[in-house]
Amino acid sequence: MSVVVIVGAQWGDEGKGKIVDYLTRKARVVARYQGGHNAGHTVVINDEKYVLHLVPSGILHKDTLCIIGNGVVVEPAALIEEISGLKKRGIKVGDNLLISKSAHLIMPYHIALDQASEKAMGKKSIGTTGRGIGPTYVDKMGRSGMRVGDLLAPEVFLERLKANLVHVNFLLKNLYRAPVFKPEKVLSEYMGYAKVLRKHIADTDILVNSAIKEKTNVLLEGAQGTLLDIDHGTYPFVTSSSAIAGGACTGLGIGPTKIDKVLGIVKAYTTRVGSGPFPTELHDKTGELIREKGGEFGATTGRARRCGWLDTVILRHSARVNGLSGIVLTKLDILDGMDTIRICNSYKYKGRTITEMPKELSVLEKCVPVYEEVSGWKESTLGITEFRKLPKQAQAYIRHIEELIGVKTAIVSTGQKRDELIQLREPF
């Protein structure tokens, strides 16, 4: 029995969905611990693409229990739409999907506040998806949030809603000059959602802990990456929740002593979406080539991702704050055909060499990457399933990354499809 956490080791979009799907074969429970429908996990099965936003990637295995934990924020309409889409494609979604009573609800006014705030900030905007994620977490921490369990108690729901709208409507009307919300209309809308979701709502913390006690394999998945973590990311250009491995404990209600392994998903290069510092970002033809070849466009928003060389400074930071016990290297095949590949292993800042990621945004923004060049490879790595069959230069690239960040590789992904990977170590 093992409890394994899957965490993004960069700025997200590292390919966590495929890896969770692959490892689910040996897991009885897959639980999502943070984020909202601002993230998208893509899984390709027999040339069919599945994009998941709130539902854990394990849903593609019919005998797996999938849990949306208390650390996730849930937009009911988006979740219902996702469930409906999966059912239309023949995927079982019934008692195998459960939502924590303690997960917070994204309300329509959260979306309005998110979009109005971003618009008001202009060029200083964070670059959110505008889906209400941040304002929902603000209410959660401000102790005025609406929770999934409130859907089961209409009187309580309406009372709390009315209290919230006093403040919210004042802001929308007077600060943002935006339309206000009527409590009765919102109540009617959300009680409609309650009828559909009622059968999925449960005390999920009890179920996760029971599965662990029964000594079954449990897989815990995050949404965004480490560098978007509210505490350990490139603040303030981050998400609003704990995306690191520690977030799995608070986001699901399990103790840290229950976790056995933490796998960091590492893309063979680096990408990020939205605003914020990105030392190795490429603004040239190489960056465009990586973007086009890697299909680097958001699964949720379609936004083009910013692309750059692999940055092991941020990966050492990620290894430390997550306590990584292994990495999964993804999208190796995107680097096929390059004569040379660059790896950043330090920064230059005001004449000084920096080997650890600065916490200060003002410093990180001015850091210049220091690169070392390694040999590329001309052969294709697409679909290779044995390490020894990789080009020698590709093998050397992987081993060098291990040396630079001090973490061994467990899996190498060599393509989009479910079985296009090399397993070097057994995670469970």
User: What residues act catalytically?
Assistant: 13, 41
Burial of 359 per CB tally in 10 Å (0-12, 13-18, 19+): exposed
**How crowded is residue 213: how many other Cβ atoms within 10 Å of its Cβ?**
10
Q: Are 173 and 144 in contact (CB under 8 A)?
A: no
Name residue 423's beta-bridge partners. 411
Q: Where are the alpha helices (DSSP H) in 253-391?
A: 285-294, 312-322, 361-364
- From the list 279, 282, 404, 281, the residue with the least C-alpha distance to 348 is 279
Task: Give the Å distances, CA to CA, from 142 to 68, 139, 378.
Answer: 22, 5, 55
Burial of 95 per CB tally in 10 Å (0-12, 13-18, 19+): exposed
Spatial CA neighbour of 13 closest among 35, 41, 45, 47 = 41
342: phi then psi, degrees, rounded to nearest 5: -105, 145
Beta bridge partners, 272, equal 306
d(CA 368, CA 349): 7
* Cα separation, 33 vs 102, whole angstroms: 12
Q: Is 127 exposed, middle or buried (0-12, 13-18, 19+ CB in 10 A)?
A: middle
Which tokens in the block code for residue 396? 């050397």
